[in-house]
Structure 1
Amino acid sequence: MATSLLILTDFFQAADAALNYATNLAAPLEARLVLLHVRRDSVLDPEMFTGQLSNLSREAIHLALSSLARDLSVPVVAEVGHGRVAFAVADAVSRHHPALVVLGRPDLTSTPDELVTTTSLDILRTAPYPMLVVPHTVRNSALPRRVLLATDGEEFTLGQFAGTARRLLNALRAELTLLRVVPQETPEADTAALDAVLRTGLTADLSTVHTRTVTAEQPAEGILQLAPEYDLVVLIARRRSFLGQLFHRSVTADIIRRSSVPVLVLPAQE
């Protein structure tokens, strides 16, 4: 089966940024794009409170999807889902088996944390899958050349997603830096982080792998401190990091919400 990237679109600015980014990413992966727009017309939809829902008619949605597809330089199919986004994404994933789910992060600066339910968390909870979140501020959709992979130094495996992650890193031919954030710097920090990742095979075919250790009380702060120096941040998300009741309490969520560069979330298998 050909590789595909599943792109969520609501025709807003953030979705356009994600689509541009994914289109460039599709070339080295030799992937097609699957455009998914989800009609969310329930008054119980949490994002009704954030103003992030499109109220286009069915005809307008199909016209907008057709227009997007015509302008793309890679193979593309378009679909319309219904109901909760997470369930529509889970259904599309089961049929298309994409390498990644890609979505844009809208401007949330004026939205209270209590109302930021976030589509990304809902998807991770419902159907954990490799996810690329592109901030609405990203203007440069060039392929990432400097990649920062944050790790806690503990053992992990990516299970069924290991092949996808390895293929993506190889296709990008990027310079990879492994980061560990510790409360107090120790000589063993870099070695522990490197060994944990090496055992997964993620770096097997990469020619350049660096390690860095940052001292910070909160892991998210250390990662966000270095993120602007890189083109892409990769997070190994353990289930405990996205199954919490409140999204804004998890490190994964904090970085997704605040990072100025795209964030690739790889769910660990535990």
Structure 2
Amino acid sequence: MTDSLSLPAGPMGQWPQLEPGWVWLCGAGPGDPGLLTLHALNALRQADVVVYDALVEDTILDWAPQAERVYAGKRGGKPSAKQRDISLRLVDLAKEGKRVLRLKGGDPFVFGRGGEEAQTLIQHGVPVRIIPGISAGIGGLAYAGIPVTHRDVNQSVTFVTGHDQSGETPTSLNWKAIAEGAQVLVIYMGMKHVERIATALLDAGRPADEPVAVVCNATTPDQQVLETTLARMTADIAASALEPPAILCVGRSVLMRQVLDWQGLAAGQQPRNLDPLNRGRPAEVS
């Protein structure tokens, strides 16, 4: 039972106190409750009210049985709260003297609009604390057995969002520059515009046979992983009936899933390829 979970002795013997009138903006991680930070758990234990996003697991909220729950989820194509209303609701709750926890999926500062909310709070005189979380673009891919960086593949990684405030593919993105400069590309919220994104990358010169992984419901029991290529990605996603939330990863690091699918290995499966990058030598040999 979650009530039995207790915090270890904290730094200097004491964990930070969530004071009345404060708002803590906290990342809940990509889904698996075990990926919460201890600071996040500490916040859940103290909060009077938790304002949470659509992708926050109910089991995480159960660690705050004393708190009022306020849903502030936003999902594409569904009725959602307006960002202005969410930000001002946080201000109002803090002004009421509540200890407010704003719980956001992943990390609040990675395509989470946490910066906007924090700025609004500070402009209204509300003190804030930021608690980072594991972003789906890192943690979700790791659960799929895909390293975001791998020495034999990439020395850089580019994170982009698949849609902007209007819900369309961001017009400010220079897809040609991204295609030419991103060894590995991680795309958040890209399912709605996957055809447009694939076309832009192909037109900019990315190889048609470049490996792509689509990770849906990352780190949860409902996680699904589709391995495909850039040219086949749109058709394969349509045929699979996969739905958001999803992370798209474009690059040769996707091949490492053939050997690093640790969840498959734990279930008794054998590695599909011990040397998916065709190095021709053991991994420990430089």
* TM-score interval (norm. to shorter): under 0.3
Ranked by relative contact order (alpha carbons within 8 Å, sequence separation 6 or more), the top structure is 1
Larger Rg: 2
Structure with more strand by fraction: 1
Structure with more helix by fraction: 1
Instruction: Report the TM-score when normalising by structure 2.
Output: 0.25
Instruction: Report the TM-score when normalising by structure 1.
Output: 0.26
